[in-house]
Structure 1
């Protein structure tokens, strides 16, 4: 019996060292070599100060900024997660209707204008950093008015910050909201 106890303790120690130390260090080292920017969290700096991550949404709300997708966690990465409301949940339908009305109002759209789905539904994590190009184009006039910029110039920035599908076929094109808003700030300087 004592022999089995020592074998179990030895196996626990070996597994802890291999799986708890060696494996994470090896994966971190490989990530640092192959993709150092992503391994460090894709931090975005402005004037030497970290202002966010290209991989996490920021809660921009002012009319002079493009707004990200709605978030069930108020864009707080410590509470990442969705609302867990199913497609038939009355609370989800009410949230979507309220968000659609607010989106139309904020962007000067007609009360019955179609609204992009990503403008009224939260992502699964609540931290999706991208919006659809359509969503960005619908916000461009509001942002241009608030900043006193030419709407065509703002739409051109949207085009410059639109990323294509991964590998040409995976996912959908998107616009990184933080990158676009920082470009707007640089254009205003």
Structure 2
């Protein structure tokens, strides 16, 4: 019986060392070697080298001179520690009221925008942290951004088009634009936005 217990104990120790120590160290080391940016959170820095967010987590931009992301139901909004959708179904009166309020706000803030409001600007993502918009949803906001920055809409649209990401491996997902990277590109091209509300160090929700 003692020998059986000793064998089981040795197997437990070996398994613990292999799966709990050596394997995580090996995977972490390979990730740091092959994909250092992704392994460290895909952090985004500004021109001064300051971290202003992650390319994987949306931020709550609200000022007119910046592109706005999708609404968020993650915690108080865009909370990386509380990733969640609203879980409201299509028959929910609360969802209907919230969508109506979003539509009214978007139309009020974007009077020059062409066509109907893109659905993704009214609905939250499943995670509440989606950092991307479709190119169409970004272009829909371009007139407002251009007006707030005092530049021609064509110049803002050119920035959007330059940052459109294609499908992953050419087949997965849809074309998209990262909102944080887009707003940083606007600041680099046209100067920082007016007032307080742009990408800033240590801020998850500017």
Give the match for residue 103 of structure 2: 100
Task: Say whether 1:54 aligns with 2:94.
Answer: no
Give the match for residue 22 of structure 2: 22
Matches of 1:20 and 1:106 in 2, distance apart? 53
Is the Cα–Cα contact under 8 Å of residues 142 and 157 in structure 2 kept in the other structure?
Answer: yes
Distance 1:104 1:12, change over 3 A: farther
Structure 2 SS opposite 1:162:
coil
Matches of 1:16 and 1:97 in 2, distance apart? 54
Higher relative contact order structure (alpha carbons within 8 Å, sequence separation ≥ 6): 2
Point out the more displaced range, 19-28 or 135-144.
19-28
The TM-score with structure 1 as length reference comes to 0.89
Matches of 1:117 and 1:167 in 2, distance apart? 26
Matches of 1:93 and 1:8 in 2, distance apart? 59
Give the match for residue 139 of structure 1: 141
Task: Say whether 1:91 aligns with 2:94.
Answer: yes
Shift of 1:126: 0.8
Q: Quick check: which one's helix share is greater?
A: 1
Q: Report Cα offsets for 1:118-177 as digits up to 9, x if no partner.
A: 111111111111001111011100011111111100011010011111122211111100
Q: Which runs of 5+ in 2 are unaligned?
A: 192-206
Distance 1:2 1:167, change over 3 A: same
Matches of 1:131 and 1:90 in 2, distance apart? 26
Distance 1:21 1:85, change over 3 A: farther
Matched positions, count: 187
Point out the more displaced range, 121-130 or 93-102.
93-102
Distance 1:94 1:7, change over 3 A: farther
Matches of 1:18 and 1:87 in 2, distance apart? 48
The TM-score with structure 2 as length reference comes to 0.82
Shift of 1:92: 2.1
Task: Say whether 1:183 aligns with 2:185.
Answer: yes
Give the match for residue 118 of structure 1: 120
Q: CA RMSD in A?
A: 1.9
Matches of 2:181 and 2:27 in 1, distance apart? 28
Shift of 1:12: 4.0
Give the match for residue 129 of structure 2: 127
